[in-house]
Structure formats: C-alpha cells, structure tokens
C-alpha cells in the first residue's frame, strides 16, 4: 500500500528527447502522484539552461541539477531528469534507493524531435550526430542506474506511460 508520505516514486533517465517529460507527466497522472521535471526546477531557480552553461559552465549546472534531483526525490512522485544528470556520481548515488526507468530511443526516431533549441550540448554541430555521440558516452551510466528499460522510438507515449505505471505498481 502507498501512503501520502510514500508516493509511488519513480525516476526517468535517458538521452535528450527520449520523451522523459512527456512520458513522465502521463505516468504521474495514471499513478495519481505529482510530476517533477528537474530541468524546469533548475530554470525556475536559476534561469535558462543555455545561460547557466554559458556563464558558469557545465559543472555548475550539474551542481544545481543535483540539488534539484535531491529535493524532488525527497518530495516523491514521478521525477524526470535531464539527459546528463547521470554523468554526476553524486546524482547517481541519489538514485540508488529508487526505481529508475531508462527511456531509450533510436537516432532515427529522435531526429525529428530535436528541433526547438535550448539544448546547449547540441548547439554548433549536426544535432543528431552530437546526440548519438553523447548517448554512446552515457549509455553505460543509464544502464547502471536503471532497473527497467522502455524504448519510446515507435510507440505512443501514452502506451509507454501505462506500461511504466503498471511496472511501478507491480513493485509494491
Ligand atoms: C542535458 C539535457 C537537457 C538539459 C541540459 C543538459 C544533457 O535535458 O538538462 O540541456 O546533458 O543531456 P533533456 O534531456 O530534457 O533534454
């Protein structure tokens, strides 16, 4: 049984544009728990992500991201992380006590999701090549922290959210 003090907490990790926010919001609705996107928390507290990178560097971004992850996990619910959160060893440590889903996606499927900008690590290079290189660098960390993997390349986000919610309920 889940009490108010112990909601069905679940963390979503995975590369940029895998659908973490989209699936996370839907999964939270199905589970009836709050949804937190840690990127949004960082932006609310510190301003736009490209400006944080430009002014203070990636390491400062990882620090404020880690704080946002710690706060969100303490609150509970469905928590969606930025794609690079797993590169920080202390953030990975925070994830150890929680069910973590690795949302993966193919380069072909991600190609048409990468518009819109706002992702400093994809600026200045062919975005799909940059995305693929970064994904390969991080794949081991996603696999290390995850207790389940779902592929968002070819199926509706709602279906994936339903499967994740069912998987999470099954852990109780
Ligand atoms: C980043 C991913 C972004 C955001 C920041 C850095 C990364 O989040 O946290 O631009 O290092 O992969 P999304 O995965 O939501 O795009």
164 Rama class: left (phi>0) / alpha (psi -120 to 50) / beta: alpha
User: pLDDT tens digits, the chain, 172 residues: what are they?
Assistant: 444 546 899 999 999 999 999 999 999 999 999 999 999 999 999 999 999 999 999 999 999 999 999 999 999 999 999 999 999 999 999 999 999 999 999 999 998 888 777 888 988 778 999 999 999 999 999 999 999 999 999 999 999 999 999 999 999 8
pLDDT at 7: 82
SS3 percent helix, strand, coil of the chain, rounded to 5, is 60, 10, 30
Give 122 Cα–ligand 1 centroid separation in angstroms.
9
Measuring from atom 7 of ligand 1, which residue has the nearest CA?
Answer: 84
Ligand 1, CB within 6 Å, residue ranges: 16, 20, 39, 49, 82-84, 119-121
Got the DSSP string for 115-167?
TT---GGGTTS-HHHHHHHHHHHHHHHHHHH-SEEEE-SSS-HHHHHHHHHHH
**H or E segment to which residue 40 belongs:** helix 38-46
Other CB atoms within a 10 A radius of the CB of residue 11 amount to 27
For domain 9-168, give the CATH superfamily: P-loop containing nucleotide triphosphate hydrolases (3.40.50.300)
Rg, Å, the chain Cα set: 15
Per domain, the residue ranges of the chain are: 9-168
CA distances from 96 to 105, 139, 145 (A): 23, 17, 7
Of 97, 111, 101, 77, the closest CA to residue 150 belongs to 101
pLDDT at 25: 98
- How many angstroms separate the CA atoms of 133 and 122, rounded? 10
Give 154 Cα–ligand 1 centroid separation in angstroms.
22
Measuring from atom 11 of ligand 1, which residue has the nearest CA?
Answer: 84
pLDDT at 3: 44
For residue 14, the ligand 1 atom closest to its alpha carbon is 14
Tell me the pTM: 0.94
Show Cβ contacts of residue 122 under 8 Å, excluding neighbours closer than 6 positions: 16, 114, 130, 131
Mutate to test the pocket of ligand 1, among 21, 65, 86, 121 (most ligand atoms within 8 A of CB): 121
Give 7 Cα–ligand 1 centroid separation in angstroms.
26
pLDDT at 6: 60
- How many angstroms separate the CA atoms of 80 and 39, rounded? 8
For residue 21, the ligand 1 atom closest to its alpha carbon is 15
- How many angstroms separate the CA atoms of 17 and 104, rounded? 9
């Amino acid at each position: 049984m889940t009490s108010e003090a112990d909601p069905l907490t679940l963390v979503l990790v995975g590369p940029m544009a895998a659908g973490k926010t989209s699936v996370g919001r839907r999964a939270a609705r199905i589970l009836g728990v709050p949804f937190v996107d840690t990127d949004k928390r960082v932006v609310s507290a510190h301003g736009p992500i490209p400006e944080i990178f430009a002014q203070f560097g990636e390491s400062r971004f990882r620090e404020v991201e880690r704080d946002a992850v710690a706060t969100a996990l303490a609150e509970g619910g469905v928590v969606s992380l930025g794609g690079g959160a797993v590169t920080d060893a202390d953030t990975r440590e925070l994830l150890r006590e929680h069910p973590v889903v690795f949302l993966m996606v193919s380069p072909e499927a991600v190609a048409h999701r990468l518009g819109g900008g706002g992702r400093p690590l994809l600026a200045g290079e062919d975005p799909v090549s940059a995305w693929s290189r970064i994904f390969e660098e991080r794949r081991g960390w996603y696999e290390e922290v995850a207790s389940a993997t779902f592929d968002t390349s070819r199926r509706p986000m709602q279906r994936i959210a339903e499967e994740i919610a069912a998987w999470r309920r099954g852990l109780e």
